[in-house]
A and B are shown apart, each in its own frame.
Chain A
Amino acid sequence: MSDLNTAMIEKYRSSFLKEVEANVEEGEWVKMCMQCGVCSGSCPLGKHWDHPPQEIFMMIRANKRDEVLSTDSMWMCTSCYNCIARCPRGLPITHIMHGLAVYSKRLGLTQKKQPTAEFSQIFWDNLMKKGRVNELKLGLSMYFKDGFGQGIKNAMANQKLGQNMMKAKRMNAMEFFGGHSVKDLSGFQKMVKKAQEIEEGNLKDAK
């Protein structure tokens, strides 16, 4: 992906804002921000962001490409939509944050070990296998993402929760063996592949 990164740097050397407008979901809204700060103030997780949304918008306009694409701020978004509801200019802030996160990941600039990014990847891989989320395996993947020892520790710590979920038929231990898939798995995979091709094509066109 770093080739893509280099290509994008070349293409948008003068304006990161233009790059965001072209390649980031809802990126064309960034210029509409009037820096009132209501998004940042309304964000329930705001204090955990290195750069709150309003600052990210300003950084984009100020050409701070590296800082924006490598910060983990946009990964802090939990999609509560408070900012969208409150923004006086109607910016789809949640979507822009997800767009920036996706773009940073595609360019290979996302911080290593960023928990939300890691979880997203695990979730995606899990989903792609059978066309539906295998919750048991998703949980296990999360437990063991930092190694076997840590995985056992995590599993022990959440033992009670897991047992209760099984009792309540919220989780099925048998899913560990393969797990069931959507009706037309190959159709599903073809569909996703096509979507990915279209997306890649869009970005190549932008090159």
Chain B
Amino acid sequence: MTEVIATNETILVVGGGISGMTAALEAAETGKQVVLVEKRPYVGGRVTQLYKYFPKLCFPTCGLEINQRRAKMNPNLNIISMAEVTDIKGEAGNYTATVKISPRYVNENCTACGECAKAVETEFDDEFNYDMGKRKGAYLPHRMAHPQRYVLDPAIIGTDDAQKAKDACKYNAIDLDMQEEIVEFKAGAVVWATGWKPYDANKIQPYGYDRIDNVITSVEFERMADPNGPTGGKLVRPSDGKEVKSVAFIQCAGSRDKNHLLHCSRICCMASLKQATYPADDIPITIYYIDIRAIDRFEDFYQKVKAKENVSFIKSKVASIVENKENGNPTLHGVDTEGYNRYANEHDLVVLAVGMEPSVDKESFPVEIVINEEGFIEPAPENGGVFAAGCSSDALDVNRAVQHATGAAMHAIQVVNRVAATEG
């Protein structure tokens, strides 16, 4: 049974992505008691699935390691993974949270030796790689996962695989009797950091994501570029596995569109400019855009990518994509805005720069909260002691999400400080 020690001076952080981790660590490092609830079996969220950061093209693993180290060293921070907040009752300074913890079937004895994964046979789509590639039924979600502990897929429980995994474990770390738990605990303030999800590309029907193999999303392309990803870092066409010889990026795929997301997702321009540096320099890359939104220091990066000879820009929102049945090439149709030329351009691979959508939908918040038209949390007095951090508040890049989360931590600290003052 998981025990959570918490009081009205505890800060509950919902979501352990880069924003939640930042808020939790900043608060814990000022001496506050923090409980971090994370849905996935590991912290770090979508940042763990990035290959490189823009604009410096450095690796997120670096900052992730620092944060995970801070988390491990801080006794004030209690991370509960594979858990979801199902209810929050009360008011600022006196909340009661209900949390559902899913069974991991692996306890803290786990040394991440990997013997269980070798023993089991059934394979599943690898959600870490957006279902490109497979993982075993006993798995470490990714190499740097924190907690560094394996997970058993609930689908293998009750099958031979489960017993095989248990038998293979030398450390008595596999507990097949683990059950779902519901725990309740107190909190004085809540930092809501449930982040974002990529917009469902299937909804952009004219782009044919659901029917053209060589049309993929930006998050999939990111995994493909990662040497630890499903293709070992090779950029290949999903249709035939051949090396990609030309790439097109389509901007505002789902963003700034009254039929899809109303808002500008802010990251996609920079993400595509970044991804344009992934393939070898001699392959032609075309970026279709409405306008490039590279603000302040990002402008330099935009200019740098623009100067590359293999990268060209077409000012046009692509109208439709049709597959060339002979070679599997997607053909892009539209009219450009610089000359109003009608085009039908073929590319090897098309990457949809999909927008950012809040990961929690408007109806399913377990707490009273003010949501705007786009589904993001508004800073409002009605929210009481619940403060949004990072992408639950707006479409933000990592840098701005971290800044925003630090601010949210500050608000939460103020609330629990007030509680401390009245309780003496």
Which residues of A come within 8 Å of B, CB atoms? Answer: 34-38, 40-42, 46-47, 51-52, 54-55, 58, 85-90
Contacts and interface: CB of A to CB of B under 8 A. Distances in A.
Interface string B247-283: 0000010001111100000000000000000000000
A88 B335 contact: no
Contacts of B334: 37-38, 40-41
A41 B335 contact: yes
A153 B110 CA distance: 90
A46 B315 CA distance: 18
B318 interface: yes
Contact of A41 (B256, B259, B290, B320): B320
Given A40-B340, A47-B342, A86-B206, 12 more contacts: A34-B291, A35-B337, A36-B316, A37-B334, A40-B334, A41-B334, A41-B335, A42-B206, A55-B340, A86-B259, A86-B319, A88-B257
Contacts of A37: 315-317, 319, 334-337, 340
Contacts of A87: 258
B333 interface: yes
Contacts of A35: 290, 315, 337
Contacts, number: 65
Nearest to A56: B340
Nearest to B333: A41
Contacts of B259: 85-86, 88
Contacts of B252: 36, 88
Contact of A42 (B291, B319, B336): B319
A41 B318 contact: yes
The 8 closest A-B pairs by CB, nearest first: A41-B319, A41-B334, A36-B317, A88-B257, A40-B335, A36-B290, A55-B340, A37-B316
Interface of B: 206, 252, 256-260, 290-291, 315-320, 333-337, 340, 342
A30 to B, nearest CB: 15
A54 B335 CA distance: 9
A52 B318 CA distance: 15
A34 B252 CA distance: 13
Contacts of A38: 317, 319, 334
Pick the most buried of A35, A47, A87, A88: most chain B CB atoms within 10 A of its CB: A88
7 contacts: A37-B337, A38-B317, A38-B319, A41-B316, A41-B335, A87-B258, A88-B257
Contact of A51 (B256, B260, B291, B340): B340
A136 to B, nearest CB: 40
Contacts of B333: 41
A46 B337 contact: no
A42 B204 CA distance: 14
B318 A90 contact: no
Nearest to B257: A88
B342 A88 contact: no
Contacts of A47: 342
A36 B334 CA distance: 10
B256 A88 contact: yes
A54 B315 CA distance: 13
A52 B340 contact: yes
B357 to A, nearest CB: 16
Pick the most buried of A41, A42, A47: most chain B CB atoms within 10 A of its CB: A41
B286 to A, nearest CB: 15
Contacts of B337: 35-37, 54, 58
Contact of B340 (A42, A54, A86): A54
A85 B260 CA distance: 12
A181 B340 CA distance: 47
Contacts of B260: 88
A112 to B, nearest CB: 26
Contacts of A55: 340
Contacts of B315: 35, 37
B66 to A, nearest CB: 40
Contacts of B318: 41
A102 B268 CA distance: 41
A90 B259 CA distance: 8
A58 B338 CA distance: 11
A125 B258 CA distance: 40
A34 B335 contact: no
A52 B252 CA distance: 21
Contacts of A58: 337
B344 to A, nearest CB: 10
A58 B257 CA distance: 20
Nearest to A91: B258
Nearest to B254: A88
A28 to B, nearest CB: 17
A85 B204 CA distance: 12
Contact of A89 (B258, B336, B342): B258
Nearest to B336: A37
A36 to B, nearest CB: 4
Nearest to A41: B319
Contact of B290 (A34, A40, A52, A90): A34
Contacts of A89: 258
A46 to B, nearest CB: 7
Nearest to B319: A41
Contacts of A40: 319, 334-335, 340, 342
Nearest to B261: A88
Contacts of A42: 206, 319-320
B402 to A, nearest CB: 30
A171 to B, nearest CB: 39
A34 B335 CA distance: 14
A90 B258 contact: yes
A89 B317 CA distance: 13
